[in-house]
Amino acid sequence: YNFFPRKLKWSKTNLTYRIMSYTSDLRRAEVERAFKRAFKVWSDVTPLNFTRIRSGTADIMISFGTKEHGDFYPFDGPSGLLAHAFPPGPDYGGDAHFDDDETWSNDSRGYNLFLVAAHEFGHSLGLEHSRDPGALMFPIYTYTGKSGFVLPDDDVQGIQELYGAGDRDPNPKHPKTPEKCAADLSIDAVTKLRGEMLVFKDRFFWRLHPQMVEAELVLIKSFWPELPNKIDAAYENPIKDLVFMFKGKKVWALNGYDIVEGFPKKINEMGFPKEMKRIDAVVHIDDTGKTLFFTGNKYWSYDEETEVMDTGYPKFIEDEFAGIGDRVDAVYQRNGYLYFFNGPLQFEYSIWSKRIVRILHTNSLFWC
């Protein structure tokens, strides 16, 4: 989290706001509700109170405008710049402006007014942009889904450094952004994708380029808004140029940014028994054309060509991959080795000699 120069903040906790104009994209009541919820994001975690006034000058004046709209910081038509706000202070200080060339919504269409307003009001209160891709104050818009919004921890830390903590936080568990070099790092899933490697954790995935040491952390929903957070497993079928992602009893097929029509499907349509609850990990082995699915202490083998489960499965993991433990978080294959992840450890298993040849930290995936 960052602050504006001189750490600008309001010297009072009771602030007023006034809605000076509306967008025709939403009903007035929807606009008012979006702004009220957006202010509540910040009042929930601080002593701040926000009161709406309907006349006179409020601390935070809110309006919709297009292109040059009176403050010499013009908007730019559809997309691009969505809104802006001024740091705490007199006159324009705290004011928030929304680009009415955008399509504003209260769901995933266009741009979600609540989400953008919550971000802009963070500026109105003294927060500058954060480098944390999981933060509300990250400068780029990402629709974070229908389920209840919870202010990420990075934003909570920032606003509480300015105003202190409140005493009425309804959701004290604020999502943190994972640290790739944390000694106890565990991961949810890993897959290759057109030469890159994607490592999934909570709401995020790291993009690992073969030539680069630095991994880029990205929100899953910034790439695939329809996908759930915290996926269970993922693998790439390079022949079909598809990546399959699993969560619970569902499977999604992705072709680049696009979700293949007809997905998500139920995993038992692939031949798993109906009572199968989830897939823990999955890996495609290029040489054999088989895909191995790990669930609990067992694993299945699926023939990609015939699209049928091989007979004789499931088998016990321990029988074939002795030593990797009876649970797999994630697994990928490279150069004749399988890399099984279990909590903070990964096991390098030689397919040829059928044994574990090395045990590494999970975070060594990121050269930590």
Residues in the chain: 368
Q: Round to whole Å and give the CA distance between 161 and 347.
A: 42
Q: Which two tokens stand for residue 315?
A: 């088998």
| Tokens 């990928």 found at | 332
Going residue by residue from 126 to 155, which x/- string records binding to other proteins, judged by CB under 8 A? --xx-x-x-----xxx--------------
Contact call for residue 5 and other proteins (CB under 8 A): yes
Q: Of these residues, 30, 68, 120, 269, which one is catalytic?
A: 120
Choose between 75 and 293: whose C-beta lies nearer to other proteins: 75
3-state secondary structure of 366: helix
Check residue 81 for interaction with other proteins (CB under 8 A): yes
Measured from the CB atom, the residue of 111 and 244 that comes closer to other proteins is 111
Residues 143 and 221 sit within 8 Å (Cβ to Cβ): yes
How near is the Cβ of 326 to other proteins at its closest, in Å? Answer: 36
How many CA atoms lie within 13 Å of 274's alpha carbon, on the beta-carbon side?
0
By CB under 8 A, is residue 123 in contact with other proteins? yes
Size of the site for other proteins (CB under 8 A): 27
Cα torsion angle, 285, 352, 188, 326, sign: positive
Active site residue 226: no
Q: Decide: helix, strand or coil at residue 161.
A: helix
Q: Does 79 bind other proteins (CB under 8 A)?
A: yes
Burial (CB < 10 A; 0-12, 13-18, 19+), residue 211, is exposed
* Shorter beta-carbon distance to other proteins: residue 133 or 238: 133
φ and ψ at residue 313, rounded to 5 degrees:
-115, 160
* Preceding amide of 5 cis, omega within 30: no
Site stretch for other proteins (CB under 8 A), options 32-40, 162-170, 211-219, 255-263: 211-219
Binding-site string for other proteins from residue 212 to residue 231, where x marks contact by CB under 8 A and - marks none = x-x-xx--------------
Closer CB to other proteins, 217 or 253, in the complex = 217
Residues that bind other proteins (CB under 8 A): 5, 73, 75, 79-85, 99, 111, 116, 119-120, 123, 128-129, 131, 133, 139-141, 212, 214, 216-217
Catalytic residues: 120
